[in-house]
Structure 1
Amino acid sequence: MVALRSALVQKREATLFAGCGIVADSDPQAEYKESCLKLEVMQRSLSKNNTLMEIHDVSPVVKNPVNATYAYVQAFVDELQRANVHNVVICPGSRSTPLAIAFASVTTIHSWMHVDERSAAFFALGIAKKLQQPVALICTSGTAAANFLPAIVEARLSHIPLLVITADRPPELRDCGAPQAIDQNRLYGSFVKWFSELALPEATDAMLRYVRTIAQRAVGMAQAVPAGPVHLNMPFREPLVPQPSTEHAFPAPEARNAQAWQGRANNQPYVAISDPLPGLPSPARILQLLQMMCQARRGLIIVGPQNQSTLIGPLLALAQRLNFPILADPLSQLRGSKNEWILSSYDAFLRFPQVVHATEPDFILRIGAMPVSKPVLLYLQHYAACPQIVIDGQMGWEEPTQLVSELIHTDPTAFCQQLQSCLESLNVNQTSSETAWPTLWQRLDQCTQKTLETAIADFTEPFEGRVFTELSSLLPEATTLFVGNSMPIRDMDTFFWCRDRDIHILANRGPMALMAWSPVLWAQVQ
């Protein structure tokens, strides 16, 4: 007796086992084919040095489906690639066999195999986070789907487009003691933007139009602002393998609607979806905001986690014109630019009460999510009466302080460009009029960084912060660095300083604990 999928590994050799559950009405040939498919998944997983594998095989079966299930799933997957889904992470399983085979047949979609569902979900999340594109994630029925939840929660909080597709048993095998069956409807609750239980597969014009529409709707919903995960639950009856079935006869080729079966011409989506970005404030409101900013003599820009690489140019131009220093969170995508207006050592020097006292702001513009730094949060709370405006491009509520005077849902890059354009047309430039305020922040930043560098050089004990001082010097151009939550991202906030290299920094939001500071190092910094 063996498990449905198992292996005996001895040194550099592995013996693989695969099997199927046999019940009274089992078809021996179908069960054998299913066992072979399970075995093939394991063989593929071991074909490289790690558990991730890119599938290159193209199945001719799906191109000429032999049963209703494969006609239905082929139309669904075809529509996903038309919606610009280019990556799918597949977890092994029996009930999801039609999906796995259909995805593997499409050369325009990268298929990745991952045997562990929790790891697979975070792997899919990482791809979507890096590419800012929707990624599909599939698994079999039962508790396999439950392992996706942590990554789905992260995707919802971080506004990452994730298309979660769970295979399921048909209605007659639910809530009746059938194996590998749980209630998968709305399994992820409010952590997904949208849920749909799809109809059982049928090879009719109406049902193929239906499943193509669902595919486009799901991708569109995942990408619409605020982006996030969606969940499709897809029930399948046997046969799960591509073998002929007499249960649902195909319509004759001449009776099939070309758009339903083959999709629209020129690889166009069946339903084109347009979701415009949040609009800019009215011209009158822009002028009011500019008046507030120009009257400020101690303005500050705080940029939290955000993923727009286009923000840096317009933001720097705006900061220089207004004389507003920029506090750049490690996830702001600004620390790849070494510029005197971009500060990265604030997490250390804002811990000193005398520094907080000397840097009272009279206007704060905050962009993106709430920064990682606890001292920044305490600084904002200390100056609770200071006017604070938040620019949120994800139509959310990134405001845990309860101190913001105005929250504007708009695209941050376009907003900064609009302000800069208005400043130019009005010929407003405060750069030469008042330099004491930005100079104070810049000197604090430079002095703190030098002090930390000296302290770390003299610190002989192992210390986590040194990891990030080394990385900031060693990482090459165009590197993507993924940092763990809690202590790692907080250490990075303090010890990863600006460099003139394009480094894309990502992290999962997670429940981040407060950073514990080393008393010895802190004494040396003081």
Structure 2
Amino acid sequence: MSISSFNRRWAAVILEALTRHGVRHVCIAPGSRSTPLTLAAAENHAFIHHTHFDERGLGHLALGLAKASNEPVAVIVTSGTAVANLYPALIEAGLTGEKLVLLTADRPPELIDCGANQAIRQPGMFATHPAESLALPRPSQDIPARWLVSTLDNLLGSLQGGAVHINCPFAEPLYGEMDDTGLVWQQALGDWWQADTPWLRAANIVKSETQRDWFFWRQKRGVIVAGRMSADEGRLLAEWAKTLGWPLIGDALSQTGQPLPCADLWLGNGLAVAELSQAQIVLQFGSSLTGKRLLQWQATCEPEEYWLIDRLQGRLDPAHHRGRRLVSSVADWLEQHPAEPRAPWCEAIPRLSAQAWETVHAKRDIFGEAQLAHRIADYLPAQGQLFLGNSLVVRLVDALGQLPAGYPVYSNRGASGIDGLLSTAAGVQRATARPTLAIVGDLSALYDLNALALLRQASAPFVLLVVNNNGGQIFSLLPTPPAEREQFYLMPQNVHFAHAAAMFSLAYHQPENWAELEQALEGAWCKPGATVIELVVNATDGAQTLQTLLAQVSHL
């Protein structure tokens, strides 16, 4: 009997089962123990294969693919610390709902806790962060193939979002020519191999019912808060809110077109807060709000009811309002709860929003990161998409910019880490093949620098815009101790990215004014492949500009 052949047949059942649950993309890191899984994936023509030498980046690449495709994505890694490197992407997926299937190869039980090389305790190592976990046994012909396939179907059929961890131990030998070992075991699944449906169809769909008193509430004074949602849902929500005559406070990730832009500025004005206090009901669609002033208002508002609508389960409301937690996609909920045409009830807020926009617009000619955030809509590629990094970048765009309604915007705003941002953006581009603009800070780019290797394979124009303010300038907005701020918080690295781009054979530009930036972008959007554009700005100008604008708008 050939152990290597049976390992391959066992792995082939696992990979084929994944295809029945919509998995098209498989992300693979190099490794020996994962050989049965890797070769089974390579031989299965239903898959699009992606490779990367860094498992942390590989996990985020899969996250980006899942984010943009809205499909589950599989990841294959070898044993040991390779598995641990998937933790950040797994955590993010758990908070934002992308479906990841992590196939982690492992040593067999007799090699654990005995000093064997590259052997760690992998089952349960991700604690409570996976949506589900499955520790498979060592491949054995004593275990029916129908047990293996039905176990996987039961696990994947009920997955609503987040990552599943499937730990797969394999004994040596791992290599060798295929023979007939396990062929009868494999053939016991009969014509399942030629079908395209799961062996076991399991479903566990959780969805809130229609709110029968909606006809009553839609006649009240309401406020809509829009967090993360899809581009189509953002456009629908903007139209729905306009019909109702309710003010819509749109996050940069809402894709609603932010009909009342600069909310993070005008929410600091007492007139706006006073008018919002008249709301009898607040409806929040989507989670992961960005703006500090929006979060502060959300935490202190006291309407009669607060409804939060999101496809993800869980409370999702850090302020713990009295109201309703409704599990539904935004589009489905809007269809079930039609708007009734009414005149807008807010007067001060539209005026304050327009004045805030004009205040920001007056500073747009200065070459800086705050002005970039305000101008961002001018630089988006046609029929493209935007990926926003974390820290100061997303906050400035949220506070000072206005993105087109229905234009796709992606980010990692679940755990809001800066790890893996370039890898995630690469996955977003690969899933859609659209022109992509990704904007990150210099520390974020440094954190995921080897992901530039992934950008070499961009199938459409891809621009990585690195805003280099020499450190983590988000801490300039926080009351960090001045004496320790630079060394322990900002951590300026005094680096530029020309050599990094050259190392990976990527085009590079460092514009010094808006005309040069626009020229670099015009050239980048004309051809497939990635371009790195580094915007070197004065360290604290972005944070200081935001603080100055906040003060100005608060006194309008």
Tell me, yes or no, whether TM beats 0.5: yes
2:201 alignment partner, one of 263, 272, 276: 272
Equivalent position amino acid for 2:337 in 1 = L
Secondary structure at 2:357 match in 1 = helix
- Flag the 1:418–1:486 CA change in 2: closer, same or farther, 3 A: same
Check the 8 A contact 1:478/1:503 in 2, yes or no.
no
Question: Which of 262, 266, 269 is the aligned partner of 1:352?
Answer: 269
Given the alignment of the two structures, is residue 323 of structure 1 paired with residue 245 of structure 2, yes or no? yes
Residues 425-478 of structure 1 show CA distances to partners (whole Å, capped at 9, x for unaligned) of xxx5323xxx4x344333322221122111232x3xx53222323331121233
Question: Does residue 1:376 correspond to 2:294, yes or no?
Answer: yes
| Secondary structure in 2 matching 1:332 | coil
Alignment of 1:125-164 (within 5 A): 125-164=63-102
1:429 and 2:334 are equivalent in the alignment:
no
Evaluate the alpha carbon distance shift between residue 506 and residue 477 of structure 1 in structure 2; reply closer, same or farther with a 3 A threshold. Answer: farther
Query: Contact 1:208–1:260 (CA<8 Å) still a contact in 2?
Result: yes
**Aligned-pair CA distance for 1:203:** 4.4
> Residue type of the partner of 1:471?
I
Is residue 230 from structure 1 mapped to residue 164 from structure 2 by the alignment? yes
2: CA distance, partners of 1:354 / 1:310: 30
Q: 1:257 to 1:147 in 2, by over 3 A?
A: closer
Give the partner amino acid of 1:348: L
| Aligned-residue offset at 1:330 | 1.1
What do the CA deviations read for 1:304-326 (whole angstroms, capped 9, x no partner)? 1123624532x344323321121
Give yes or no for contact 2:100–2:164 (8 Å, CA) kept in 1: yes
Amino acid in structure 2 at the alignment position of 1:379: W
Q: Distance in 1 between matches of 2:282 and 2:64?
A: 32
Larger radius of gyration between Structure 1 and Structure 2:
1
- Do residues 300 (structure 1) and 300 (structure 2) align? no
CA contact (8 A) 1:77 1:103 kept: yes
User: 1:482 deviation in Å?
Assistant: 1.6
Listed one character per residue, the Cα deviations across residues 329-355 of structure 1 (whole Å, up to 9, x for unaligned) are 1111323xx7xxx32321111112343
Q: Does 1:214 align with 2:151?
A: yes
2:194 and 2:261 map into 1 onto residues whose CA distance is 51
Q: Is the 8 A contact 2:92 2:412 kept in 1?
A: no
The normalised TM-score by structure 1 is 0.75
Which residue number corresponds to residue 181 of structure 2?
A: 250
Q: Partner of 2:118: helix, strand, or coil?
A: coil
- The alpha-carbon deviation at position 121 of structure 1 amounts to 0.9
- C-alpha distance in 2, partners of 1:107/1:265? 13
Q: 1:449 aligns with which of 350, 354, 357?
A: 357
Whether the 8 Å contact between 1:72 and 1:203 is mirrored in structure 2 is: no
Deviation per CA, 1:487-506: give whole Å up to 9, x if none. Answer: 22111211220326633333
Distance 1:209 1:479 in 2: 44
Partner amino acid for 2:202? I
Q: Distance in 1 between matches of 2:152 and 2:323?
A: 41
Q: Does the Cα contact within 8 Å between 2:107 and 2:171 map onto a contact in 1?
A: yes
What does 1:6-405 correspond to in 2, within 5 Å?
67-203=5-141, 206-222=143-159, 224=160, 227-243=161-177, 250=181, 258=187, 260=189, 263-281=192-210, 285-286=211-212, 288-294=213-219, 296=220, 298-307=221-230, 309-310=232-233, 312-313=235-236, 315-335=237-257, 342-362=259-279, 363-405=281-323
Taking a change above 3 Å as real, the CA distance of residues 172 and 257 of structure 1, as seen in their structure-2 partners, is: closer
Summarize the Cα distance change of 1:444–1:498 in structure 2 as closer, same or farther, 3 Å threshold. Answer: farther
The Cα shift of 1:411 comes to: 3.3
| Aligned alpha-carbon RMSD (Å) | 2.7
Choose between structure 1 and 2 for higher RCO, CA contacts under 8 A separated by at least 6 residues.
2
Answer whether contact 1:162 1:230 (CA < 8 A) is retained. Answer: yes
**Structure 2 CA distance for aligned equivalents of residues 498 and 448 of structure 1:** 16
- Of the three residues 414, 430, 440, the one matched with 1:509 is 414
The secondary structure found in structure 2 opposite 1:343 is coil
Q: Distance in 1 between matches of 2:94 and 2:316?
A: 13
Distance 1:293 1:514 in 2: 41
SS of residue paired to 2:316: coil
- Structure 1: which amino acid aligns with 2:173? P
Against the structure 1 CA distance between its residues 147 and 327, is the aligned structure 2 distance closer, same or farther, given a 3 Å change threshold? same
| Aligned positions, number | 429
1:98 and 1:480, CA in 2 relative to 1: closer, same or farther beyond 3 A?
A: same
* Alpha-carbon offset, residue 374 of structure 1: 1.4
Q: Does 1:493 align with 2:410?
A: no
Contact 2:80 2:106 in 1 (8 A): yes
Q: Summarize the Cα distance change of 1:317–1:403 in structure 2 as closer, same or farther, 3 Å threshold.
A: same
Alignment partner, residue 379 of structure 2: 474
Amino acid at match of 1:146: A
> Residue 463 in 1 paired to residue 385 in 2?
no
Q: Choose 353-362 or 230-239, whichever is displaced more.
A: 353-362
Letter of the structure 2 residue corresponding to residue 107 of structure 1: H
Counterparts in 2 of 1:121 and 1:155: CA distance versus 1, 3 Å: same
5+ residue gaps in structure 1? 1-29, 31-64
Structure 1, 463-472 or 507-516: larger mean CA deviation = 507-516
* Structure 1 residue 144 displacement after superposition: 1.2
SS where residue 377 of structure 1 aligns?
Answer: helix
CA distance in 2, matches of 1:79, 1:265: 12
**Partners of 1:69 and 1:177 in 2: CA distance:** 24
Partner of 1:60: none
In 2, Cα distance between equivalents of 1:123 and 1:187: 21
Residue type matched to 1:129 in 2? Answer: K
> 1 CA distance for matches of 2:476 and 2:412?
16
Q: 2 CA distance for matches of 1:308 and 1:474?
A: 18
Whole-angstrom CA distance in 1 between matches of 2:125 and 2:195: 37
How far apart, CA to CA, are the structure 2 residues paired with 1:261 and 1:176? Answer: 41
Kept after mapping to 1: 8 A contact 2:255/2:406: no
Match of 1:7?
A: none
